[in-house]
Amino acid sequence: MRISSWNVNKFQGAYSNPQTRGGYYNPKNIDFKTPIKKLISSCIKEKDDIVFLQEFYDNNILKTKDFFGETFEVLHNKCEGNFNDIKSHVVAITRKDSLWKLVEQTLNKSSLGNKWIEVELAEEGLSVLSLHNTHKSIMEKVNKEFRKKEKMIILGDFNNSSWIKEIKNKYEYDDIITNDDDITFKPAQTAIDRIFINRQFKYGEIEDSPIVIETYLSDHNLLSLEIKLDKEKYKK
């Protein structure tokens, strides 16, 4: 099973402009969504493979949800208004025949429900939370999940090095990105994207594959790992 996480920076490559206030900025109108989709396809070979994307941006021109939906299942929380009314989402991309299911939520715009997603693979007893930290309420929600210890994997763009250090020292989760020199956010040369695995989840082994992958298609690098499930060692 391959599990991946990637902040795709709204499909605008490494471009950014504070004046857009979180909106889309691609001054040369480069098509980033096609190569991004190709790379994601390389991470989704088996039925249980899944890719979590942060800053999944959609509008009437990009139509990224429709573009990915032609090939994959795009899982996301349902908030008030249209999908493309919101600047960016956290989504999960899977094969259409995958058994991954969205954990349904009742949300509104003020809940920032577009900034996190919960999915589960019931047949494996596996639950995952992905996030994009943009507000203290997101941190509060995720800290609560760490304390509950029900999620087997918590991953995404934590956007705060001090918070990551606190999580590593306080909660019973292993940080798969063990080396802070493994740069995940290139502009600041920091490792703010992480994958935490619950210590109760005896996953067997992590295959020898790159964890942090340089992509040149975003200002963040891709995190990806292959997990070989060992049901005999699985703790409930």
User: How much is the pLDDT for 45?
Assistant: 94
Average of per-residue pLDDT values in the chain: 87
User: pLDDT > 90: what percent of the chain?
Assistant: 63
Going by C-alpha positions, the residue among 166, 155, 156 that lies closest to residue 126 is 155
Domain count, the chain: 1
236 pLDDT tier (thresholds 50, 70, 90)? very low
Q: Mind giving me the DSSP string for 167-235? A: HHHHSSEEES---TTS-SBTTTTB--EEEEEETT----EE-S--SEE--SSBSB-EEEEEEE--GGG--
15 pLDDT tier (thresholds 50, 70, 90)? confident
User: pLDDT > 70: what percent of the chain?
Assistant: 84
Does residue 70 have a pLDDT over 80? Answer: yes
Give residue-wise pLDDT tens across range 31-48. 999 999 999 999 999 999
Cα radius of gyration rounded to whole Å, the chain: 17
Determine the angle formed by the axes of helices 161-170 and 136-148, rounding to 10 degrees: 20
Question: How many CB atoms lie under 10 A from the CB of residue 148?
Answer: 8
CATH of the domain at 45: 3.60.10.10
Spatial distance between the Cα atoms of 232 and 101, rounded to a whole number of angstroms: 24
Going by C-alpha positions, the residue among 21, 24, 19, 114 that lies closest to residue 60 is 24
User: How much is the pLDDT for 204?
Assistant: 62
pTM, two decimal places? 0.92
Give residue-wise pLDDT tens across range 176-217. 876 778 899 999 999 999 999 998 886 666 766 668 999 899
Structure tokens at 207: 């295959």
User: How much is the pLDDT for 191?
Assistant: 94
234 pLDDT tier (thresholds 50, 70, 90)? very low
Spatial distance between the Cα atoms of 91 and 2, rounded to a whole number of angstroms: 16
Provide the residue range defining the domain that includes 32: 2-233
Give residue-wise pLDDT tens across range 105-140. 766 656 688 899 999 998 878 899 999 999 999 999
Structure tokens at 197: 């695995």
User: How much is the pLDDT for 108?
Assistant: 60
Spatial distance between the Cα atoms of 12 and 36, rounded to a whole number of angstroms: 11
Spatial distance between the Cα atoms of 73 and 97, rounded to a whole number of angstroms: 8
What are the residue ranges of helices labelled H in the chain? 33-43, 64-69, 136-148, 161-170
